[in-house]
Amino acid sequence: MRLSIRLESEKEIKLFQDYRRNFISILKQIGIGTDKSEKKEYKPYSFSVWFGDEFKIEDEFITGKAILFLFSSGDPTIITRFYNGIIELKKKDRDIMICKSPMRITDIKLIPQKKIYAEKIIFKSLGVLVLNNPEASRADFKKWYIIPTDNIVKFNECLSQRINSRYQFFTKKVGIHPIRLSLLNDSFIKETIVKHYGGYIRGFRGIFQLEGSPEILQFVYDYGFGIRTGQGFGLLEVVKQI
């Protein structure tokens, strides 16, 4: 399930490009991501922030007036906790500080559940997708973070390992669900390097096909693609079920 939260400012604001930490802070305020029983790298949700066409990127800042905060999880308990927490923040009718800029919650929408029934799905990224190669050195930025156009075979090995590890952790089910990304066209994948907590992360945006069982594809859609899903990466939207 997914929720869309609209945040607005009366005047144009400037947000740092390293903005995701502010939304992680909002989640912690409402009790999301604070469960000590969770693995640090395994969060049962994904989120993305959409700035809309009116926002502009200028040097180190993103400027505009309205933001959509999209939150997704396959766990009804997490969705309920998020919804109730956001409602309480809205009831307080006070500013929420995003990169030291005051904003207000103006709308909360529940997005209808999307059921995955096919074994091949064309997805598009909502934000940046991140995956790493555990066999590479963290010091080697280009090899530690891997994108589909680097080496599609190795990328799919890493993707299957990461997705199945998270799937088994959250569902407590054994067994491997094969999952594979196919490029529709190299030009549909765009390497993207973003600032995050003072450092940099290499990921990608784009449109591509994922092939696997409907169960594992539903998991990816609900919980996010790749790694760092709890830090504002990995949210997908369905383009077409094949």
Token couple for 67: 């933001």
CATH number listed for the domain at residues 2-111:
3.30.70.1890
Q: Are the C-beta atoms of 66 and 8 separated by less than 8 Å?
A: yes
The pTM of the full predicted model, rounded to 2 decimals, is 0.92
Per-residue pLDDT tens listing for the chain (242 residues): 999 999 988 888 778 888 899 899 989 988 887 765 555 668 999 999 988 766 677 777 788 788 899 999 999 999 999 999 999 988 887 788 888 888 899 999 999 889 999 999 999 999 999 999 999 999 999 999 999 999 999 999 999 999 999 999 999 998 899 999 999 988 899 999 999 998 999 999 999 999 999 999 999 999 999 999 999 999 999 999 98
For residue 53, what pLDDT is reported?
67
Q: Distance between CA atoms of 64 and 56, rounded to whole angstroms?
A: 7
CA 47 → CA 44, 70, 172, distances in Å? Answer: 11, 5, 23
Q: Distance between CA atoms of 57 and 41, rounded to whole angstroms?
A: 30
For residue 100, what pLDDT is reported?
80
Q: Distance between CA atoms of 190 and 124, rounded to whole angstroms?
A: 12
Token couple for 186: 């190299």
Token couple for 156: 């799919």
Where in the chain are the domains?
2-111, 120-241
Q: Distance between CA atoms of 103 and 100, rounded to whole angstroms?
A: 9
Q: Distance between CA atoms of 212 and 173, rounded to whole angstroms?
A: 16
Tokens 């539903």 map to which residue?
Answer: 218
Evaluate whether 2-111 and 120-241 have a shared fold.
yes
Q: Distance between CA atoms of 51 and 68, rounded to whole angstroms?
A: 6
> Which of the four CATH numbers 3.40.50.960, 3.30.70.1900, 3.50.50.60, 1.10.10.60 does domain 120-241 have?
3.30.70.1900
For residue 198, what pLDDT is reported?
86
